[in-house]
Amino acid sequence: MSTNTNKIDPEKFLAMLLQYSRDSHYNHINISVRLNRNPAYTRQVMNIKLKRISKKFGNDERLYVSMTAEEGQKFLSLVNRLKEDMFANFAEKITWHTELLERTEQEFGYHQIRERDQYNNLEFELLL
């Protein structure tokens, strides 16, 4: 069994992502997991892009982070758990409570863009 120290802490990562998005006025967080078919190696890559659609602050789109899906596995698991809680409660938005955020509570929407396909590709958005 290997111990991979590159895996991220999901709560801290989500808190930093939400805090940065809110402070910089981004209102869409796009998360995509895609298979990288490089002939030298095959692995899944997780990209997180921030998108702002705003008349006041202007439109912008930028890559926040890129990592292997294995490194972001716990983060994806946390988002999946929050999404399942939202659907179980028939709620429109996810409400996440944590002491890691300045405001201790964040509400955001979930929008599935692409379901998992034969290569296990996945894409969804968190709407702030």
Within-domain flag for 51: yes
Within-domain flag for 18: yes
Within-domain flag for 44: yes
| Total domains present in the chain | 1
Within-domain flag for 97: yes
Q: How far apart are the C-alpha atoms of 28 and 51, rounded to whole Å?
A: 5
Strand partners, 14: none
Within-domain flag for 4: no
Residue span of the structural domain in which 95 resides? 10-127
Within-domain flag for 32: yes
Q: How far apart are the C-alpha atoms of 49 and 60, rounded to whole Å?
A: 10
Digit-by-digit pLDDT tens for the chain (128 residues) are 445 566 789 999 999 999 999 999 999 999 999 887 776 777 889 999 999 999 999 999 999 999 988 899 999 999 999 999 999 999 999 999 889 888 888 899 999 998 888 777 889 999 98
pTM of the full structure: 0.86
**Do 71 and 8 contact (CB within 8 A), yes or no?**
yes
